[in-house]
Chains A and B, each alone.
Chain A
Amino acid sequence: MNTLHTVNKSPFERNSLSSCLRLAAAESSILLFEDGIYAALQGTEFSETIQTALATHSIYVLVPDLQARGMSLEQVIAGVQAVDYAGFVDLTTTHYPIQAWL
């Protein structure tokens, strides 16, 4: 099974996302949640980083955390997949191990 990396920090405030992308093996998956969702949006300084990463990783974003922050699915970068809480649980059962980038 592939690794699931989770990122819950804003890319503008911490280097969690950049460290994750630097050290995550190809084909591993990345879930953006809590303040990590800010990386999943179009038109930011990090949009290009995510677009590039999509070539080698499946990237997911947790929808309730998007909505809480006033963002909608239409603003998410194409190719980033939306998941709800049930989808989050599914990801944890289809990946191993799970690595949190705090």
Chain B
Amino acid sequence: MGVTKKLLYLNRKAPHGTIYAQEALEVVLIGSAFEQDISLAFVDDGVYQLKKQQDTKATGMKNFSPTYRALDDYDVNKLYVEQESLAARGLSAEDLIVPVQVLSSAELAALMATQDVVFSF
């Protein structure tokens, strides 16, 4: 195998209104096979992707939120959420379906600056 790169997937969209969140999740799962150093960041409406208790039955859409809990099986376990985005939406880490590290904007900026590639969704 070649050199390991630091890859960050930056999630900024709410889960069901557009396809971005679900596509990002799929790319992460598939991409995990390449054994790179993967991180996921959730900012802006992206924090809504991790909201607990999503129930899409009445809408007839797929509920992909339980899949975030499978990320650990795929050895993707660096999940970061921006504190400012949570606060603007009245949310806290307890509202989220998986354990995450909550970072300030400044801390997240620093983390992003260390990445080789940032994928935007």
Contact with B along A26-45 (1 / 0, CB 8 A): 00000000110010011111
Given known A64-B58, A68-B16, contact A12–B88 (CB-CB < 8 A): yes
The stretch from B3-11, B34-42, B43-51, B102-110 touching chain A is: B43-51
Given known A45-B88, A68-B16, A70-B53, contact A12–B59 (CB-CB < 8 A): no
Give the dominant DSSP class at A's interface.
loop
Q: How many residue pairs between the two chains, A and B, have CB atoms under 8 Å in the bound complex?
A: 70
Q: Which B residues touch A10, using CB under 8 A? A: 14, 17, 45
- Asked if A69 is an interface residue, CB under 8 A from chain B, the answer is yes
In the complex, how many angstroms separate the beta carbon of A61 from the nearest chain B beta carbon? 13
Give the docked Cα–Cα distance between A4 and B25 (Å). 36
Q: Top 10 nearest A-B pairs by Cβ distance?
A: A43-B90, A64-B58, A35-B17, A70-B51, A70-B54, A68-B56, A70-B53, A67-B55, A45-B88, A68-B59
A residues sitting closer than 8 Å to B (CB atoms) are 8-10, 12-13, 34-35, 38, 41-45, 47, 63-65, 67-72, 84-85
